[in-house]
Amino acid sequence: MKFKKKLLAVVIASSFILFVCKQSNPTLAPGPQASDYKNVIDRTGDPQYLFDYDGKENNLRFNALLDNGAWHGHLLPKDKNGYGSFGGIMQVSQEYANYMSGQTFDKLELRDADTGTFFDLSTAEANIYSMPGALVQILTTDDVSVQMILRFVTGRTSLLETTITNLSDKDINFALTWSGDLVQGYKKEDTEISTKTINDVFPDYNRRMEAIDNGISIKFGDMKDNYAIRNDADAEFIIERSIANKNIIDGTHFDASAKKMIASKQSLVIYTTYSNLLNAQEVSQEKTKITEIFKDPRSSMDASKKRWEGYLAHGLSNTNATNAQQRVAVKAMMTLNGNWRSKAGDIHQATVTPSVTARWFSGANTWPWDTWKQAFAMAHFNPDVAMDNIRTVFQNQIKPDDVIRPQDAGYLVDVVTYTLSDERGGAGSENANERNTKPSLAAWSVMEVYHALINEFSRPEDAQKWIDEMYPKLVAYHDWWLRNRDHNHNGVPEFGAAVDLAHNTDDGEIYVWVEMTPEDSQEYGTDVLEHKVEKNSDDVNFFCLKFEVGI
């Protein structure tokens, strides 16, 4: 696989934007409101393909709201046909992200059960927007108002609060229906559209729906080794409602229905949970949480709102910043929180990825170089996730007794993934890479978290525990750099790569070569300069390079 990497500009910029927008005073004035920052990121979209890309870079076309470490996201409707739904659902499956459904998935429709009158929400006066931590639709017709607010309340579950108000002068026996289809198209890249369906390309994906109590379950087949979807056979996407409802399933389509009398000028509040669960253990654990959520859903909504009030109060503490600067800072916070994944698989704690819309950089894929800058920024508004992001990078730090690379004690592998590689005794990963590491800003980011905990969050004990935890790991990493990469012993590490099977030929040799143009070949007198060394030499560190001169 050719692995190309781009650092997202917003992730790079966010560290410095938030750095200049912070101040050391831990006493916070009444903070800014999330509603002051509407539509900072365009959350609208109507995906029609599993991979609905915006071009050849393989970035997902629409930027869904993800929060609280969840492994799925939602979109606002792109047009009036999607009013009444947050159905454009993006699903993160271990190492990749894709779209599960379009804007009309789980769309609410209302009728008068007695007269058959249809209340057409597509004709409603609409106030639809995103804000930090939430998606909102307020739809108003002459006879009914529907207010929908969606927030993330656990690391796996989003919660939709739907308030239906009878504006008419008479009591109405409402017939409520929801319906939806999973996307069937395989891929769109800019204007190039594949005519293949998902079943054509991935017959083993085997998406299917089942009715459950007051909701539906979507199940999937085992998927591996395709550089597009990684999924276990016991993964599920579950939708449940607080109102008793009947569900009818037809393949990858569902229809749900309920009835409820709403008196004149009165309201009905319905709650819906959406949970993307990666295996049977998560299904069991999250069902218990969902039961608790439905006991007091309003407190879950309030907790999510309060959480974002805290992010904004800390992240926007510079009173000298202009409104434009504050909006950029909010965008950075929303982006970083959207890239936050709660612990899963072989990731032992939360982590932050460079992107959730870029094909190769979602899932739980975690790189050191990105992490140092992400954590530096998040230290000032979400320090606990900043610490976990750093911990994820260090969780696979090579030990002196490592069975594969003991010569690299202290080394940090290039990427930590949802599952360990086959060589490490895991379930296998398509993106795992121990071939190299990234330039280190580890101590820089660790110290930024330390100072933020003390000066901005009044948590000196946690700050000291943090340093106590990280110091020996940083020392081991520092020692590895000077032991394995300072070839001329001048105290400055050189570029290089690790001894790794990926650098070897089948007979165990490693090559370093330079390819030249014909003109350069005449000057240097050879077509290829080739240097061959034996595998696993104790006193040689290898730098494998293919360099095309003049290209």
For the stretch 105-141, pLDDT in tens is: 999 999 999 999 999 999 999 999 999 999 999 999 9
pLDDT at 244: 97
pLDDT at 58: 84
Q: Decide if 270 contacts 243 (C-beta within 8 A).
A: yes
> What tens digit of pLDDT does each residue of 421-461 get?
999 999 999 999 999 888 889 999 999 999 999 999 999 99
Q: Average pLDDT in the 67-74 region? A: 98
Q: DSSP states of 533-550 as a string?
A: EETT-TT------EEETT
SS3 annotation, 478-500: HHHHHHHCCCCCCCCCCCCCCCC
Which tokens hold the place of 186?
């395989």
- Does the pLDDT at position 549 exceed 60? no
Q: What is the mean pLDDT of the chain?
A: 89
- Does the pLDDT at position 525 exceed 60? no
Q: What's the half-sphere exposure (Cβ side, CA atoms, 13 Å) at 26?
A: 10
For the chain, the domains span 42-300, 323-484, 504-548
> Can you give the pTM of this predicted structure?
0.88
Instruction: Report how far residue 288's alpha carbon sits from residue 60's, in angstroms, rounded to the nearest whole number.
Output: 33
- Does the pLDDT at position 24 exceed 60? no
Architecture of domain 42-300: Distorted Sandwich (2.70)
- Does the pLDDT at position 396 exceed 90? yes
Q: In this structure, which amino acid lies at residue 520?
A: D
pLDDT at 547: 37
Q: Average pLDDT in the 299-318 region? A: 96
pLDDT at 15: 39
- Does the pLDDT at position 312 exceed 50? yes
**519-526 own/partner pairs: CB under 8 Å, 24+ apart:** 519/550, 520/549, 520/550
Instruction: Report how far residue 446's alpha carbon sits from residue 508's, in angstroms, rounded to the nearest whole number.
Output: 39
**Residue 501 — very low, low, confident or very high, per pLDDT cuts 50/70/90?**
confident
